[in-house]
Structure 1
């Protein structure tokens, strides 16, 4: 099991799902109107139709953490900037989106 999830913004979820089914030769394990998840050799890759609303500028790696608020504070102290604050997204899962000092996006996620 991977300790991170890659999320790809996908404004047209149906088209993106069809594309990645073909590109990866795999079926999604989760297919909802708000998230489509694939597991490729233990790597979770998800499609997010609300990526633009969530302020994603491209694919983001979400790193698993047990204490999301503490991780956000730690990364902010190291020069990171909060793009999307800690947000509950359902099913006991919360995430935060940040940028590094160069403006690259990195995310953190906790699952209850």
Structure 2
């Protein structure tokens, strides 16, 4: 197998219907306060992972949690995974702070998130 390896799943985004209630639940679960706390996104950093809460599924319209694999070269990984049979849902885009994200769909319809930090 060629191509770049991943740096593992370190980000999971959860769509939520009630942001305040979800924030309380995840704060209790994780044992930490959110590091990012806004009306459109709440994010927790703990144990080397980032857990994000998106009200209404966010702009992506998520309907279930999505795991994001961290990769050193997002464009190369998108090309490699699509060549293997996945399709692009959202191409790589800058979401701020030097972070690029992309979303793919595997042959069974599951979402695969990719993240590259510059």
- State TM-score, norm by structure 1: 0.83
Are the counterparts in 2 of residues 96 and 109 from structure 1 also a CA contact under 8 Å? yes
Instruction: Give unpaired runs (5+ residues) of structure 2.
Output: 1-6
Are the counterparts in 1 of residues 23 and 42 from structure 2 also a CA contact under 8 Å? yes
Are the counterparts in 2 of residues 11 and 52 from structure 1 also a CA contact under 8 Å? no
In the comparison of the two structures, how many residue pairs are matched?
112
- State TM-score, norm by structure 2: 0.79
For the aligned residue pairs, the C-alpha RMSD in angstroms reads 2.2
- From the CA coordinates, give the structure whose radius of gyration is larger: 2
Question: How far apart are the structure 2 equivalents of 1:35 and 1:100?
Answer: 26
Q: Aligned to 2:95, what secondary structure does the other structure show? A: strand
Q: Which runs of 4+ in 1 moved over 6 A?
A: none
Instruction: Give unpaired runs (5+ residues) of structure 1.
Output: none
Are the counterparts in 2 of residues 34 and 50 from structure 1 also a CA contact under 8 Å? no
